[in-house]
Amino acid sequence: MPHQGEPYDQAANADAILRVLAAQHARAVFFVVGRMVEEHPEVVASLAAAGHEIGLHGYEHDDLARYDAEGVALLDKNLGRVASLLEQMTGARPHAFRAPYLLGPDFYRSDVYSVLREQGFRWVSNREVRYPVELLRPRSVLIPPYAWRASDGAARLARNRLLLGPLNAKLVAKGGFLGSPADRLRWLRGRREPFARDGMTEVPVYAPLDCDLLGLPRHDEDTPRAELEYSRAVLRAAVAPRPGELSMITFHDWIVSGGNRLSLLEDALATAREHGAQIATIAESPDWLSRTA
């Protein structure tokens, strides 16, 4: 957590999130750090018992992009031990992995992916995409509160297509997937389908992370109304995609369960239901996963 010494009841806040998911009959993927599996097995067990998919988020929440060869070897050892522990706890080894900080700035590292593949992971989600809505956050000194209301509808869609390329120039030029910059630009402006890499399926980030919209609030403080409502509008748009498109929203437990922010999860799931979206984990869609991997 970014605020050292802040009181945080992991079990109670996990339970609050689980209650919202249960009320909406929704299953989620929980990416947990390996140390949490070892130190708070009862919390992880409660997530799995409620029917949610458990993925790993590194062993500690540190920057895998900075690891030397010795660090990667230790990661391999730690992930193997934790995966075996999860299998004993839940009956299944984890198939999903998301790196802390998404392995930025390249969002990929071949030796880390080699470790993941050998450990039996089937899908990863580290490919960041920057979205134009991140530029319109009400906290910005250049953007007055509620300026986002004028950017909805057709104008918003046109703006997104125009700005996605410049915002993701490095992805287009050196993304390291789909062959060529022209192919990646078409992918970016299209449906941004998952793609195969190193024997696993890479599921890109389909909407801004909660911290991209809300910053890093203290767990016990409320988010100002303008920021909260802006985030709500962005998430509603993200979970109501066009037919045939995939979507994904990402929350950090300590952000969404704190202050007045749990309503964002409730509202996003309700909006998805209203639009007829199928809410499912990757583990519940094995046919889709095998087609892309």
Residue 120 CB coordination number (10 Å): 14
Residues 6+ apart with CB under 8 A from 287: none
Measured distance CA(54)–CA(108) in Å, rounded: 21
Helix (DSSP H) and strand (DSSP E) numbers for the chain? 13, 6
Alpha helices in 175-220 (DSSP H): 181-189, 210-214
Residues 6+ apart with CB under 8 A from 142: none
Measured distance CA(30)–CA(44) in Å, rounded: 9
pLDDT in the model for residue 213: 93
3-state secondary structure (DSSP) of residue 74: helix
Which residue type sits at 253? Answer: D
Contact call for residues 56 and 82 (beta carbons, < 8 A): yes
pLDDT in the model for residue 150: 42
Paired tokens of 216: 């890093």
Measured distance CA(109)–CA(123) in Å, rounded: 15
User: DSSP for 106-167?
Assistant: TT--HHHHHHHHHTT--EE-------GGGGG-TTSTTS-TTGGGGG-HHHHHHHHHHHHHHH
Q: pLDDT tens, position by position, for the chain (293 residues)?
A: 777 778 889 999 999 999 999 999 999 999 999 999 999 999 999 999 999 999 999 999 999 999 999 999 999 999 999 999 999 999 999 999 999 999 999 999 999 999 999 999 999 999 999 998 888 777 654 555 445 454 455 555 566 777 899 999 999 999 999 999 999 999 999 889 999 999 999 999 999 999 999 999 999 899 999 899 999 999 998 888 677 788 899 999 999 999 999 999 999 999 999 988 888 887 777 565 665 54
pLDDT in the model for residue 181: 96
Distances (CA, A) of 127 to 13, 21, 32, 112: 28, 26, 18, 14
Measured distance CA(60)–CA(63) in Å, rounded: 9
pLDDT in the model for residue 138: 78
Q: Which CATH architecture has domain 10-128+194-292?
A: Alpha-Beta Barrel (3.20)
